[in-house]
């Protein structure tokens, strides 16, 4: 069966993980959690600039593994593009490997979670609502610049799932 990979992008505290998990349940498939969260929990620190490409590589390895278990859809909670955007924000520029990984945006469709949910601090990984707004704006600019088709998803979790269901109904035709 042909599995369609759906990228779920968005700034910090915008509901990517909750949406990915809810969609996996709804469509009886699997989702790929954000590896960065695991990294931060294990290391008890944020990653260094030199670790960004490795985090993106591990994310992609986990996507490839999950693809083997997916049922028609694979929901990916973040992609190397988000890692590159945060690297640009925190370290002024991503390294060349990360730029290449982010450029290879191999997803069948891209969802963007709006920063309309309450911002919730998450230990080391989240900085502020101000950073969330800047990252969201940069993400939207890059998607437009690269001509990556995407759908901005807003509202509470059930509203977001309904919006995605509607959009995916056209992809599965």
Q: What is the pLDDT of residue 124?
A: 59
Q: Say how many C-beta atoms besides its own lie within 10 A of residue 37's C-beta.
A: 15
Domain region containing 27: 4-171
Q: In the chain, what is the greatest distance between 2 CA atoms, to the nearest angstrom?
A: 45
Token readout for 76 is 């990916």
Domain count, the chain: 1
Q: What is the DSSP string of the chain?
A: -PPEEEEEE--TTSSHHHHHHHHHHHTT-EEE--HHHHHHHHHTSPPPGGGHHHHHHHHHHHHHHHHTT-BSEEEEE--HHHHHHHHHHHHSS--HHHHHHHH----SEEEEE-S-SPP---TTS---HHHHHHHHHHHHHHHHHHT--EEEE-SSHHHHHHHHHHHHHHHT-
pTM, to two decimals = 0.94
Please report, in tens digits, the pLDDT of each residue of the chain (173 residues total). 689 999 999 999 899 999 999 999 999 999 999 999 899 889 988 899 999 999 999 999 999 999 999 999 999 999 999 999 999 998 998 889 999 999 988 999 999 999 999 888 776 566 788 989 999 999 999 999 999 999 999 999 999 999 999 999 988 75
Instruction: Count CA within 13 A, CB hemisphere, residue 170.
Output: 7
Judged on CB neighbours under 10 Å (0-12, 13-18, 19+), 110 is buried
CATH value at residue 141: 3.40.50.300
């Amino acid at each position: 069966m042909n599995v369609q990979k759906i990228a779920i992008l968005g700034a910090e505290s915008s509901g990517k993980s909750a949406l990915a998990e809810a969609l996996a349940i709804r469509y009886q498939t699997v989702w790929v959690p954000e590896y960065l969260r695991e990294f931060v929990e294990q290391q008890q620190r944020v990653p260094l600039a030199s670790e960004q490409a490795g985090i993106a590589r591990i994310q992609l390895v986990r996507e490839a593994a999950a693809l083997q278990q997916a049922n028609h859809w694979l929901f990916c909670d973040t992609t190397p593009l988000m890692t590159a955007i945060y690297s640009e924000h925190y370290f002024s520029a991503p390294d060349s490997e990360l730029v290449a990984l982010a450029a290879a945006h191999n997803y069948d469709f891209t969802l963007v979670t709006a920063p309309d949910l309450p911002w919730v601090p998450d230990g080391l990984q989240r900085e502020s609502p101000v950073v969330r707004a800047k990252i969201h704006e940069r993400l939207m600019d890059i998607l437009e610049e690269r001509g990556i088709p995407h759908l901005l998803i807003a509202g509470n979790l059930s509203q977001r799932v309904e919006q995605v269901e509607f959009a995916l109904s056209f992809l599965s035709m």
